[in-house]
Amino acid sequence: MTSVWPRLEHLLPQVQKPARYIGCEDGAQAPDHGPGPVSWLLTYPDTYEVGLPNQGLQILYEILNERPDAAAERSYAPWSDLEALMRRDRVPLFSVDNHLAATDFDVIAFNLSAELVYTNVLNCIDLSGIAVRSLDRKDSDPLVAIGGHCAYNPEPLADFVDFVVLGDGEEVVGEITTVLAEWKRGGRGPGTREGVLRTLAGISGVYVPSMYEVSYDGPRIAEVAPRFADVPEQVEKRTVADLADWPYPKSQLVPLTEVVHDRLNVEVFRGCTRGCRFCQAGMITRPVRERPAEQVRSMITNGLKRTGYDEVALTSLSTADFSGIQQVIADTVSEPGCDQVSVALPSLRVDAFTVGIAAQIQRARRTGLTFAPEAGSWRMRQVINKMISEDDLFGAVESAYSQGWRRMKLYFLTGLPTETDPDTAGIAELATKCAELGRAHHGGAASVTVSVGGFVPKSNTPFQWFGQNTSAELNRKIGLIRDATRRNRAVKLKWHDPRATLIEGIASRGDRRIGAVIEYVWRRGGVFQEWSEHFNHDLWLEAMVACGLDVDWYVHRHREEDEILPWDHLSAGLHKDFLWQDWRDALDEVGLEDCRWTPCYDCGACTGYGVEHVVASATPPAGGSQGTGVAQSPTTGTAVSVEPRLVAGVAPS
């Protein structure tokens, strides 16, 4: 085991942003490997700037390194300039901590948060110097693992990975380590690789694709069957019951070079039961588990002091729903020495209450606020169960403009189930009305930026049966919005490339046969596909043809109720009949309330795993009608006050 640094160092002056490859972050560890500990190479298959802030990877990095029987280092996909030099000089994929070769590790574990990085996964495996297909790997090769949200449909990568982890990783990485440590103690003899994988398949939350046989009936899946009796028919996700037990990361990495989200990040809760039907994250991370407010406060205070950051983000899927939000923010901004600290709330609900919170934390810089109404009409928002009334939106926007913000950013999806042209046109109408509200306050300085993304149906959601819109249809819909906003100088329109949406759709609900497509694209240089300068739409379509697969069948086709979906043997806890009922409710334009504050409707996420919501407040937060059952704020109302006297009303009792 030797460092590749001497071979890497002289390449770095020849590449862009060499600081991506040096490690040296505050919080970085240089663990001893030795013969005993199980060594993990935690890899983010995108650039360092995108991958370093990933909280999941940092949490596992710390948890593993705290164990005496494990050692964890990190790796990121090298940019194409360095990759070319590495291939020329035969420098393998390396860790940025001790700069060890990837093959010095027992496990190479990838965090997957988007489909377009799949070809990068193959590239990183190949750069490691091992076979990309798991069946071709030798006994001595590292095991290749994946986790993260995309792992809920890992089938397109099934032929390339040895095992998959579903759900929260905090506990299961330890259980996997114990099995692998035993295997190492036994000498990892020839022929034992399959045996250890079979043992791993017995751990709850671990899926070993090679232990399952997929048979087809024409294009459809006939059966996904375990190859052995001791391999479970259905793999269940892992859920940590209480975030209070996992105050990680304790020493968030502070990079030496600029990265995205370059700030302290504190996760205030995990899971979301708002029930937005398009949102895979909200479906697969249930139930809601809040971190105790006291722990959030100490993580903020200690984190700022240790890192020297002047910004903290309170992260979750909908941070304004955190029971302790007002108290935590009030405490943070009044902390001595924190007068220069700004607080970011990356995922905000749309209502005036939220604007009030934003007003409290952005005392100085009131440049822009972002809201995600997601759909342009009330009917459409009932279908997707994002129950934001126009009063909520206009109340929020009016309140924001009246308190000094000048730029609003509104996120929308198009190509949603049952979407009609009036629904699409509603996006432009909402934006136009918001711009008018802004003009009343700031004249020509007010602006509204509308970001429109094409909807990609995801596994384990009520919309998993929906046939995605074609690129042509998405282009037409974006055209409708463009035509309706073109003359309005206060409205700026941005959209996600519908061709990329199409390719995401291929991988999102693909089966094992899509693996050949991913390999085809990778072998022809199609890496960094989520980067517009590298994205190669035509290469993907060429690969589909070459593999004899039909884009229409995989992407645009509505699935049927009795159809076996490629991920049906993998469970996020949600009953399939719950998801189907929710899909029918969507088509009937029936919304579903948030079960945090209303009776359980048995989706399965709690009951199946013996866990429940961990929420400090039994009442929904003030303001907004979004599934809370609480009266919405009046259209013309100004921001809900967030003076301390009101805090008691919603603080945990």
Partner 1 sequence: MRLRVEFTKFGKIRFTSHRDVARMWERAIRRAELPISYSEGFNPRPKMSFGLALSTCHQSDAEYIDLEIDPQQASTVAPDSVADLLTQHLPDGLEAVRVVEIDRKTPSLQQAVTSCTWQIDVIDTDEETAAAAVARALAAEELIMRRQRKGKDVVDDLRPQLINLEIIGPIITGPDISGPNEEGVRMVAELGTKPRSVRPSELLAALEPPLTEWRVTRLNQWITDDDGSRREPIPRQLSSSAPLGAT
Residue 18 found at the interface with partner 1 (CB under 8 A)? yes
Residue 261 found at the interface with partner 1 (CB under 8 A)? no
Q: How far is the CB of 24 from partner 1 (least distance, A)?
A: 5
- Cβ atoms of 169 and 72 closer than 8 Å: no
Q: How far is the CB of 88 from partner 1 (least distance, A)?
A: 11
Residue 397's contacts (CB-CB under 8 Å, 6 or more residues apart) are 371, 408, 434, 437, 438
Q: How far is the CB of 315 from partner 1 (least distance, A)?
A: 20
The contact mask relative to partner 1 for 107-146 (x = CB under 8 A, - = no) is: ----------------------------------------
Which SS3 state, helix, strand or coil, does residue 161 take?
A: coil
Residue 89 found at the interface with partner 1 (CB under 8 A)? yes
Residue 6 found at the interface with partner 1 (CB under 8 A)? yes
Look at strands 368-374 and 342-344 and give their pairing: unpaired
Q: How far is the CB of 248 from partner 1 (least distance, A)?
A: 21
Residue 639: how many CA atoms within 13 Å on its side-chain side?
19
Among residues 246, 309, 455, 495, the one that binds partner 1 under rule CB under 8 A: 309
Residue 250 found at the interface with partner 1 (CB under 8 A)? no
For residue 472, how many other CB atoms are within 10 A of its CB? 10
Residue 610 found at the interface with partner 1 (CB under 8 A)? no
Among residues 87, 305, 486, 494, the one that binds partner 1 under rule CB under 8 A: 305
Residue 88 found at the interface with partner 1 (CB under 8 A)? no
Q: Which stretch binds partner 1 (CB under 8 A): 221-229, 302-310, 503-511, 564-572?
A: 302-310
Tokens 């040296």 belong to 24
d(CA 153, CA 185): 33
Residue 442 found at the interface with partner 1 (CB under 8 A)? no
Nearest 5°: phi and psi at 214?
-105, 125
454 sits in the region (left: phi over 0; alpha: psi -120 to 50; else beta) called beta
**How would DSSP label each residue in 201-227?**
HTSTTEE-GGGEEEEEETTEEEEEEES
Q: How far is the CB of 76 from partner 1 (least distance, A)?
A: 15
Q: Which stretch binds partner 1 (CB under 8 A): 6-14, 131-139, 482-490, 622-630?
A: 6-14
- Cβ atoms of 239 and 167 closer than 8 Å: yes
Tokens 């603080």 belong to 651
Residues 496-535 within binding reach of partner 1 (CB under 8 A): none
Residue 622: how many CA atoms within 13 Å on its side-chain side?
20
**How would DSSP label each residue in 438-504?**
HHHHHGGG-EEEEEEEE----TTSGGGGPPPPPHHHHHHHHHHHHHHHTT-TTEEEEE--HHHHHHH
Among residues 254, 388, 474, 640, the one that binds partner 1 under rule CB under 8 A: 254
Q: How far is the CB of 18 from partner 1 (least distance, A)?
A: 4
Nearer to partner 1, 85 or 564 (CB): 85
Residue 35 found at the interface with partner 1 (CB under 8 A)? no
Nearer to partner 1, 7 or 557 (CB): 7
Residue 103 found at the interface with partner 1 (CB under 8 A)? no
Among residues 21, 353, 394, 495, the one that binds partner 1 under rule CB under 8 A: 21
d(CA 223, CA 447): 53
Q: Which residue type is seen at 260?
A: V
Residue 5 found at the interface with partner 1 (CB under 8 A)? yes
Nearer to partner 1, 192 or 302 (CB): 302
Burial class of residue 440, CB neighbours in 10 A (0-12, 13-18, 19+): exposed
Q: How far is the CB of 259 from partner 1 (least distance, A)?
A: 11
Encode burial over 585-609: b for 16+ CB neighbours within 10 A, e otherwise: bbeeeebbbbbbbeeeeebbbbebb
Nearer to partner 1, 257 or 418 (CB): 257
Q: Which two tokens stand for residue 422?
A: 């009036």
Nearer to partner 1, 340 or 653 (CB): 340
Give the CA distances from residue 399 to residues 354, 358, 583, in Å, rounded to whole numbers and listed in that order: 10, 11, 35
The size of the interface with partner 1 (CB under 8 A), counted in residues, is 30
Q: Which two tokens stand for residue 229?
A: 């009796």
Q: Which stretch binds partner 1 (CB under 8 A): 1-9, 219-227, 380-388, 435-443?
A: 1-9
The contact mask relative to partner 1 for 333-372 (x = CB under 8 A, - = no) is: ----x--x-----------------------xx-------
DSSP 187: T
Look at strands 212-217 and 264-267 and give their pairing: unpaired
Q: Which stretch binds partner 1 (CB under 8 A): 15-23, 105-113, 114-122, 642-650?
A: 15-23
Q: Which two tokens stand for residue 22?
A: 């040096």
Among residues 178, 307, 370, 475, the one that binds partner 1 under rule CB under 8 A: 307
Among residues 308, 444, 599, 610, the one that binds partner 1 under rule CB under 8 A: 308
Among residues 1, 2, 13, 322, the one that binds partner 1 under rule CB under 8 A: 13
Residue 310 found at the interface with partner 1 (CB under 8 A)? yes
Nearer to partner 1, 305 or 489 (CB): 305
For residue 136, how many other CB atoms are within 10 A of its CB? 10
Q: How far is the CB of 20 from partner 1 (least distance, A)?
A: 9
Q: Which stretch binds partner 1 (CB under 8 A): 45-53, 250-258, 281-289, 516-524?
A: 250-258
User: Residues in the site for partner 1, rule: CB under 8 A?
Assistant: 5-7, 9-10, 12-13, 17-19, 21-24, 26, 89, 254, 256-258, 305-310, 337, 340, 364-365
